[in-house]
Amino acid sequence: MTNRCNVAQNQVWIAVFLAASLYAYEYAQMSLYNSLYVPLHQSFMLGEQAMALLSMSYHTGMLVMYPWVGYWIDRQGPRNILLFSTFGLIAMLKLLVIAPSFEWLLLSRFSMGAFASFTYISCLVWTRAWCTQESMPKATGVICAFGSIGGMISQVVGSWFISFSTWRETLSWGVLFGVVLLIVTASWMLRNNPEAKQLPTEKKEGDKGAFLHSLIGILCEKRAWFCAFTASCLYVTNTLLGAIYGKPYLIHLKGLTPDHAAMVCAALYIGVLLGSLIWPAVLSFVGGEKRALAIGASGTMGMIILTAYSQTLFFLGLAFGLVGFFSSAKLMIFSYVSKTHGKLSLATYKSFVCFGMILSATISPAISFVFAEISNTMGGSVQSVDVVLPLLFVYNIICMYSIYRLHHEHRDVVQVYRYTEV
């Protein structure tokens, strides 16, 4: 008999779906920047450098807070952190709606990222409090699938709303929807808390000494670094193409209309949606997490090459969709970590991996801008979007090397979940 409270199966999946809905809302706010790129550029007359800074601001906020995500979740519990971070995200989105200047935009996006940094890990830890070891990969897939639905809605619906109204009105509707979603979710979560039903050995301690001990142990473990590199390189592919530069890239280099570019970007999230559901289901068939990651990285690299040489709407949509599918294999990292974290805090371990993911997404716009400026000083005429695909190609080479090292790491231990650790 497992050391886990017996709860009704329908309650388990209600808990998963509600947490996933909050993650979908957060992911939609991050991805909406792809549709806001042109309106913000025109409204505030921003240059290339200002747009690069604005692209980095959201992930910079996440980057600042991520080192402390595991500690605060262990200390306050995933439910409280998840609800509080969603409330803060909605408040900062309202601040973005009324932004009168570029500095206000930067502050709003930075603050949104700071609150959003808690969402994904809180969802995973909250879900783990309800799910068994066998159902956790499926629950993780559902959370990631909901995130891709949020990204897809932000691309298609967000672009449609902006074309018929203004970007401020579109974000105002997003604020209203977020308030309703938070009220519905909080009303259920506050009445159904698995932490109150856990056995005494399952209580979380949130001790600073234990947090630092786990963090030092993670930093000294090579496997943790390879996990972070692998997840980061796959995540940044989704982020650059789906949330930051995808739409400008398709308009500027491929000659698509804004509506067609939004459809192609939505195809990426459809691929992520399908991958989030399929990868956990075929995990045993492909031979485990590490082989799934290798297939995902190889496929992602192939689809980046296909994107570079595609010119028609059909092939671009196909390439983006398959990029989303193969790169969604990154969620297998969290399944792998959940089985091998040992005595180290699972929340801290996962927040370390996510920190690497956010770091890669934060510095990538700056790297694109720097390479574009270097080319321009040498007589070229290059924008940041022009160097996106070469940069992603390099990232995927690093990803494949990290998977190779992870596969041959001598500490290849697969343990069962330790429910006394979070």
Strands (E), 54-174: none
Q: Quick check: 410 pLDDT over 60?
A: no
Close Cβ partners of 3 (under 8 Å, ≥ 6 residues apart): 199, 201, 202, 419, 420
Compute the average pLDDT of residues 54-71.
Answer: 84
What's the pLDDT at 417? 35
What is the spatial distance between Cα 292 and Cα 278, in angstroms, rounded to a whole number? Answer: 11
Question: For the chain, how are helix, strand and coil distributed in percent, rounded to 5?
Answer: 80, 0, 20
Closest CA to 15 of 125, 133, 126, 148: 126
Close Cβ partners of 103 (under 8 Å, ≥ 6 residues apart): none
How many other C-beta atoms are found inside a 10 Å radius of the C-beta of residue 77? 20
Q: Quick check: 6 pLDDT over 70?
A: no
- What is the per-residue pLDDT across 189-233, written as a single tens digit (0 to 9) for each? 988 876 544 433 334 444 566 667 777 888 888 888 888 888 888
Single-letter amino acid, residue 166: T
Compute the average pLDDT of residues 137-160.
Answer: 83
And the tokens for 202?
């399952």
Q: Quick check: 300 pLDDT over 90?
A: yes
Domain ranges for the chain: 9-193+209-407
Torsion of CA 273, 277, 283, 284, to 10 degrees: -160
What's the predicted TM-score (pTM) here? 0.75
What is the spatial distance between Cα 102 and Cα 163, in angstroms, rounded to a whole number? Answer: 22
Single-letter amino acid, residue 119: T
Closest CA to 161 of 151, 172, 150: 172
- What is the per-residue pLDDT across 262-298, written as a single tens digit (0 to 9) for each? 889 889 989 988 988 888 888 778 877 888 888 999 9
Name which residue leads in pLDDT, 39 or 176: 176
8 A C-beta contact, residue 3 and residue 201: yes
Q: Quick check: 389 pLDDT over 90?
A: no
Close Cβ partners of 154 (under 8 Å, ≥ 6 residues apart): 27, 28, 29, 31, 32, 34, 35
What is the spatial distance between Cα 84 and Cα 79, in angstroms, rounded to a whole number? Answer: 9
User: Domain 9-193+209-407 sits in which CATH superfamily?
Assistant: MFS general substrate transporter like domains (1.20.1250.20)
Q: Quick check: 381 pLDDT over 50?
A: yes
DSSP state string for 392-422? HHHHHHHHHHHHHHHHT-S--------TT--
What's the pLDDT at 409? 63
Mean pLDDT value across the chain: 82
